[in-house]
Chain A
């Protein structure tokens, strides 16, 4: 997909021998097309990337004038990633950051579950049946809903006393309690550090199961040649064999792509949900890396430090993608 960009497609106009002046006119003409977008791209994407790299070597309180900015070299990164000895123990300089990294990784545990459930859903929906379009729309619905509405809704569902989830769980708990004489109660989902992250994962599952991943799988399924299944039938394969030895290998490029995208998004995720539902709490249990960047930059105004975290995040995403390409790519079957 990426390499396709390298292939130059010649236009008929370019093949004609032409004068220098005409070439200039050509160049000018194309600038009209490219400039509006390119200037915006330059101003709001390319230069900011470089600017944030520069910013990550600087200590600057954004509410103060620019000339108070201080060049600190690798100081930000040293504080962020470094360790020091304290009473003979190795302690991170920024212990909070590592906790938030742990949180982010914990929330990414939902990714495999999400991928497999999307695959399952796609397998079920990949049939020519009447009304299947309706089901696809229903499962896709949460993907288009604004995060603010989804988060408010789930905050209400997770409400410890009156929330729908705990009301549904109450009979189960009552039954178990009456059986064993215990006094267990349904968890206070969002106010308990232990259950807040699983609650987020569950919400992510609901929101993502029928989303982009599922549609990608559906597209992948429709590209598998029917002949392979016919051949498998001749060999007397049952549905499990077909799934294991035809569908799964043929879908591996899709799975691979989805896995990469999910990991990229996973590292960058969790801001809106946490901001609306828990404000990063309880006790920082739902603060992710991106939320930490927001806090550092826009709550404490440590712009330089925020930029350095953002760059560390970038490197992590980049490395994760590279590892995926290198090792995940080997298992992918291309036709």
Chain B
């Protein structure tokens, strides 16, 4: 009875039109969130904006959000910068001829064009009205200009001097250097490592997760506790011997070093085990009775049922691999083996103050992650619940 009353009350509540108070609350929420979201996005917008500017345009006060550059026009046989200035009380567009100390010789653009069209009046004469104005009165005329070539420059950036000196390469080789030793290679490395690590980790973790969830073997739970315990150990503890191992196997600067250690994850095993435990045992038993082998059950029952969990782990692993910094940093020295983050860190040392190029490089490295994030957004929130980290 009480349940029924509560149910009716709830329904009543749902039917009631929105009160004024709740509308105000919603408005306040939106305002707060929009302000907060705006602050979150400003730095990213600044990054994109800087990446599309001309090198000199980043040094402006106050900062410009939409990249612009000064208009230049072909006037009197030369491309000249265009300014606006008051001449005899009238605002006119002028082309700059030359500066002389704090004065400037300018010629109004409209007059030049009128003469060019040759509309009769001044034909035959080469008399153009020049003006001399104060230099500081000139105001540059600007137009929106997106410098896409920054991306090309960042993409093809390569430490050419280093190769010329160290490997005595000729000009012939330089043409391909940015592909074999520059960003293209970093990108290929990053994608390759991320894809292999993602597939490998999902594969090994799902196998082991299934074993820990459903199979019986000696010391199963002790081994699993061991897995869990190692999740607390700082990465630096493990990293040093791993580096020595890779070094003694002469695997530094190889894909093996980049891919092997991250391929096995205690976290992934733990997460998938938790998920597999939730799959009803009856489904599995039915398949076993139908003559399915253990591997068959894993392949045909467990895996199809845990697509969301697998996708979540894959998303996490891909992004983790794409963003990973410390391990690739210590196991790569040669540029052709570097992953994108390490390549960019290296690039940063070379182009220390060229912010337009550095921001373009940042956009290049962020773009795939944002794509993965936008398409797999729901998996992120799921993943945090799945890992049993729901705060209990």
Chain A CB within 8 A of B37 CB: yes
By the criterion CB–CB under 8 Å, are A314 and B237 in contact? yes
Most buried by A among B43, B63, B218, B243: B43
Most buried by A among B213, B235, B323: B323
Shortest distance from the beta carbon of B5 to any chain A beta carbon, whole Å: 13
Which residue of chain B has its CB nearest to the CB of A254? B391
By the criterion CB–CB under 8 Å, are B241 and A55 in contact? yes
By the criterion CB–CB under 8 Å, are B215 and A29 in contact? yes
By the criterion CB–CB under 8 Å, are B216 and A26 in contact? yes
- Chain A interface, DSSP helix/strand/loop, else mixed: helix
How many A-B residue pairs have C-beta atoms within 8 angstroms? Tell me. 303
Partner of A13, one of B43, B237, B288, B365: B288
Partner of A51, one of B241, B247, B288, B374: B241
By the criterion CB–CB under 8 Å, are B384 and A215 in contact? yes
Which residue of chain B has its CB nearest to the CB of A292? B236
Chain B CB within 8 A of A90 CB: no
Shortest distance from the beta carbon of B184 to any chain A beta carbon, whole Å: 17
Stretch at the interface among A32-40, A77-85, A186-194, A241-249: A32-40
Chain A CB within 8 A of B224 CB: yes
By the criterion CB–CB under 8 Å, are B391 and A27 in contact? no
Which residues of the other chain, A, contact B225 by a CB distance below 8 angstroms?
A: 2, 5-6
Stretch at the interface among A107-115, A150-158, A177-185: A150-158
Partner of B217, one of A9, A30, A149, A311: A30
Interface string of A185-211 (1 = CB under 8 A from B): 000000000000000000000100110
Chain B CB within 8 A of A72 CB: no
Q: A139-B40, A140-B380, A141-B40 are in contact. Are A1 and B370 (CB under 8 A)?
A: no
Interface footprint category on B: 35 or more
By the criterion CB–CB under 8 Å, are B43 and A33 in contact? no
Which residues of the other chain, A, contact B58 by a CB distance below 8 angstroms?
A: 162
Stretch at the interface among B137-145, B160-168, B353-361: B353-361
Contact surface of B with A, Cβ cutoff 8 Å: 25-26, 29-30, 32-33, 36-37, 39-44, 46-47, 50, 58-59, 61-63, 203-205, 207-208, 210-218, 220-221, 223-228, 230, 232-245, 247, 260-261, 263-264, 266, 269, 277, 281, 284-285, 288, 294-295, 298, 319, 322-323, 325-326, 329-330, 340-341, 344-345, 348, 355, 358-359, 361-363, 365-366, 369-370, 372-374, 377, 380-381, 384-385, 388-392
Contact surface of A with B, Cβ cutoff 8 Å: 1-2, 4-6, 8-14, 26-27, 29-34, 36-38, 40-41, 43-49, 51-52, 55, 62, 121, 124-125, 127, 129, 132-133, 135-142, 144-149, 152-154, 156-157, 159, 161-162, 164, 167, 170, 206, 209-210, 212, 215-220, 223, 251, 253-254, 257-258, 264, 267-268, 271-272, 275-276, 290, 293-294, 297-298, 303, 306-307, 310-311, 313-314, 317-318, 321
| Beyond A30-B217, A307-B241, 12 extra complex contacts between A and B, CB < 8 Å | A48-B237, A132-B33, A144-B319, A146-B365, A148-B325, A148-B344, A154-B43, A215-B380, A216-B391, A268-B236, A310-B234, A313-B234
